[in-house]
Each structure stands twice: as C-alpha cells, then as structure tokens.
Amino acid sequence: MNKPERKGRQMGKVEDTQENFKICMDGNCSTCPSYPKKSDEGLFCARGASKAHIEKKGCNCPECPVWMDNGLSGMYYCVKQSKE
C-alpha cells in the first residue's frame, strides 16, 4: 500500500545519515554558540539530545538545510526534552 506523502506541517523525521551529519557539522550545529564543545555529537534532530548539559545561547537549526528540507519547526534538538 502506498500512502500519499503528507504535505505541509509534519513531524520531522530526519534520517540519521552521514550526509545529514556532514551538513549539520558544516556550519550549523558545529558553529552554534550552544553546541557542546569537545563532543563529537551532532545531528541532534535525528539522533536525539546531547549527553552534555546545554546552555541555550542560540540555535542555528532554522538556517540549516536539513531543517528546511525536512520541514522541521523545532529548535534546540540538542537539549533534552526540548521540542520547541
């Protein structure tokens, strides 16, 4: 059965791929003031929150191609229990 793709507002389901990770680390999470330094984490929108304690100092997600391409609307995916 083929379900038609839902358009418009949808829950972001970002794929955990090396390509998406690269985009995330190419000036998106990697240059974010909130990004946990000394970590090799990233792609939080797909992999879930960071293990580190994050201080919210801004979020680059809305400028990220992964964010746009997946129709995401949230921010601070690195922060636990943060959906907004």
Judged by beta carbon, residue 3 or residue 57, the one nearer ligand SF4 is 57
Q: How far apart are CA 7 and CA 71, in angstroms?
A: 9
Q: In which residue are the tokens 């970590």 written?
A: 39
Site string for ligand SF4, 13-52 (x = CB under 6 A): -------x---x---xx--x-xx-------xxx-------
Q: Give strand ranges (E) for 1-84.
A: none
The answer to whether 78 and 41 are in contact (CB under 8 A) is yes
Q: Which residues bind ligand SF4 (CB under 6 A)?
A: 20, 24, 28-29, 32, 34-35, 43-45, 59-61, 64, 66-67, 72, 75-78
